[in-house]
Chain A
Amino acid sequence: MNSGIDLQGTFIESLMDLGLPLGAAKAIWMPLPMLLMIIGATVGVLVTVWLERKISAAAQQRIGPEFIGPLGVLAPVADGLKLIFKEDVIPAKSDPWLFTLGPVIVVIPVFLSYLIVPFGQNLIVSNVGMGVFLWIALSSVTPIGLLMSGYASNNKYSLLGGLRAAAQSISYEIPLALAVLAIAMMSNSLSTVDIVDQQSGYGILGWNIWRQPIGFLIFWIAALAECERLPFDLPEAEEELVAGYQTEYSGMKFALFYLGSYINLVLSALLVAILYLGGWEFPIPLDAIAGWLNVSPTNPVFQVVTASLGITMTLLKAYFLVFTAILLRWTVPRVRIDQLLDLGWKFLLPISLVNLLLTAALKISFPAFFGG
């Protein structure tokens, strides 16, 4: 089970060789992956923002950012710097405490959810048994922050935007959870590592997308709605609500919302990659390649290659999904609020229930293919 490199173990061992007690070594290790994850998530957001601008430009036959750094890669950094240096305006008639707390509550759960994103057998911040369930629970906290900021702005557009955002997340949480439940039922576990392990062994043929095509679509649609991406970006619909709950925000607090939405997008893409596209698995099983090349799976070079390939594959799959999200953004027009709720409650919910039922039936009749 514990194949691959164990960074934590080696790190703690080397610290203990230096004469530190076990507890202190573990305490020194603990913040490292978290810090790495936060930095990684932020860099991922910068990359996503750049991609969003470049791909949007390409879809509209424009050039996009070009002069800030090579190919404009530094444009998101410049955006961020601008937002940091902007004045932090708190409207006079607003509620300053809730106004400040709102964006924080929106961002923290999203960052926390990165705990469960694995990039390899041991490349995960914490392999919690709850896994995906933790993500669903955390993402359900976000609407509170949105409602808070919408209410505290003391602005009708903000309040409407906040209410819409909350209604949207609540309605799409259910199909999302049901889609995840079907996956959990197949892999007998909620842990993300176990879910990927269950897909491994047959390369691209073993991925869950072949066994759960409906679930994949439901999950991706619901995830887009949770991220408030374009077909479902009603809470921020410019034409009706100015900018929804973000209307009164500027500077760093706006940056938190912005960061939160893009981190959420990357996170959803990563989770789709993990749940449906085999996570860190290469399309051809790597053990088979090792067998053809006569390399033993315990070879250190092979393990390093496997680990880096795993990270690359996860990121590649996630960014492919981000790409489709951006493409969808310029293809599909925004839905109305009643259409949105119709889609959530009258289409996705029954379909996901049927999908769950079907999965259960198939699991009982073909335990070999659908997880015993």
Chain B
Amino acid sequence: MTLAEGVQLVSTIILSVMMIGAAIGVVLLSNIVYSAFLLGGVFISMAGLYLLLNADFVATAQVLIYVGAVNVLILFAIMLVNKRQDFAPMPKAWVRRGATAMVCAGLFALLSTMVLATPWSFSTTVPSSAGAIKAIGRHFFTDFLLPFELASVLLLMALVGAVILARREFIPESAVTDLQATPLTLPERPRELVPVGGTPSQEESK
């Protein structure tokens, strides 16, 4: 075994351990922010594995899209609606946990039999990074054109939906008539007023 192969083996082991550990952390930690950060760790280790498989374009794209965009957006959403609330202990929680564990174990067993049953063959061709981009691009615009375009249409739909959700501009009719009764008020959506000097217990109960 040469030095390069040894380094590759060691980094594969380290990356796999990192990925599995982070993934377990994502699922098991109760703090959702930690879970989101660990998800970034999972994506990064996955990119490292891609890199070890000589797929550096896929690795870079993984970092750019999953870590740089998806994970940041998840964090954004979590931090903007950062509500700390303790879950009430539920009776018979073990039934649910048991069911989840069963489903997960079944899925795992299915996947591992698939992995074991597949006759993996080592490809002997030397992959080239520069050619990879061209090959991916060619596939996108020839035989994978339909899924590619469908994915972009899906993204466009999500985009339009987000825009519509974000700019809720119209004011309900009743609110407008309400506001016109009181002069010197700018027409804006009515918001809940914070009680001044009210009892704090009211706010907590909300």
Residues of A within 8 A of B (CB): 23-24, 26-27, 98, 128-130, 133-134, 136-138, 140-141, 143-144, 147-148, 150-151, 159, 162-163, 166-167, 170, 173, 189-191
Instruction: Judge if B194 is at the interface, Cβ distance under 8 Å.
Output: no
Q: Determine if A170 and B69 form an interchain contact, defined as CB atoms under 8 angstroms apart.
A: yes
Which residues in B have their C-beta under 8 angstroms from that of A141? 44, 63, 67-68
A130 and B72 contacting across the interface, CB-CB below 8 Å: no
Could you tell me the distance between the alpha carbons of A344 and B171 in the complex, rounded to whole angstroms?
29
B57 touches A130 (CB 8 A): yes
B72 neighbours in A (Cβ, 8 Å): 140, 143-144, 147, 166, 170
Is B76 at the interface (CB under 8 A from chain A)?
yes
B79 to chain A, nearest CB (A): 6
Interface string of B70-100 (1 = CB under 8 A from A): 0111011001100000000000000000000
B130 contacts A by Cβ under 8 Å: yes
Asked whether any CB of chain A lies closer than 8 Å to the CB of B121, the reply is no
**Once the chains bind, are B130 and A189 in contact (CB under 8 Å)?**
yes
- B43-67 CB mask vs A (1 if < 8 Å, else 0) is 0100000000000110011011001
Distance, CA A40 to CA B71, complexed state (A): 32
A147 touching B68, Cβ below 8 Å: no
B205 at the A interface (CB under 8 A)? no
22 A/B residue pairs, CB under 8 Å, sorted by A: A128-B129, A129-B56, A129-B129, A129-B133, A130-B56, A137-B68, A140-B67, A140-B68, A140-B69, A141-B67, A141-B68, A144-B67, A147-B72, A147-B76, A150-B79, A151-B33, A151-B75, A167-B76, A170-B68, A170-B73, A189-B130, A190-B133
Chain B positions within 8 Å of A130 at CB level: 56-57, 60, 129
Residues of B within 8 A of A23 (CB): 2-4
Q: Are A140's CB and B64's CB within 8 A?
A: yes
Q: Which residue of B lies closest to A159 (CB)?
A: B79
Assembly CA distance A159 to B33 (angstroms): 13
Whose C-beta in chain A lies nearest to the C-beta of B57? A130
Q: In the complex, A133 Cα to B64 Cα: how many Å? A: 9
Question: Which residues of B come within 8 Å of A, CB atoms?
Answer: 2-4, 33, 37, 40, 44, 56-57, 60-61, 63-64, 67-69, 71-73, 75-76, 79-80, 128-130, 133
* Contact partners of A190 in chain B: CB under 8 A: 133
By a CB distance below 8 angstroms, the chain B residues around A159 are 79
Chain B residues whose CB sits within 8 angstroms of the CB of A173 once the complex forms = 68
- Distance between Cα atoms of A353 and B76 in the complex (Å): 26
A190–B134 alpha-carbon span in the complex (Å): 12
The answer for the CA separation of A162 and B128 in the assembled complex, in Å, is 39
Q: Which of chain B's residues has its CB closest to A146's CB?
A: B72
Instruction: Name B73's closest neighbour in chain A (CB-CB).
Output: A170
Nearest chain B CB to A44's CB is how many angstroms away?
A: 25
The CA-CA distance from A143 to B2 in the complex, in Å, is 38
- List the 9 closest A-B pairs by CB distance, nearest first: A140-B68, A129-B129, A137-B64, A23-B3, A137-B63, A137-B60, A129-B130, A130-B60, A147-B75
A138-B3 in contact given A130-B129, A144-B72, A159-B79 (Cβ < 8 Å)? no
Contact between B79 and A151, CB atoms less than 8 A apart: yes
Q: In the complex, which residues of chain A have a beta carbon less than 8 angstroms from the beta carbon of B73?
A: 170
The CB with the most chain B CB atoms within 10 A, among A27, A130, A170, is that of A130
Q: Is the CB of B37 within 8 A of A128?
A: no
**Docked complex Cα distance between A133 and B56 (Å):** 10
Shortest A346–chain B CB gap in Å is: 13
Chain A, residue nearest B6 (CB) = A23
Which residue from A24, A140, A150, A151 sits with its C-beta under 8 Å from B63? A140
Query: Are A144 and B61 closer than 8 Å at their CB atoms?
Result: no
Contact at A144–B71, with CB atoms within 8 Å? yes
Could you say which residues of chain A place their CB within 8 Å of the CB of B44? 141
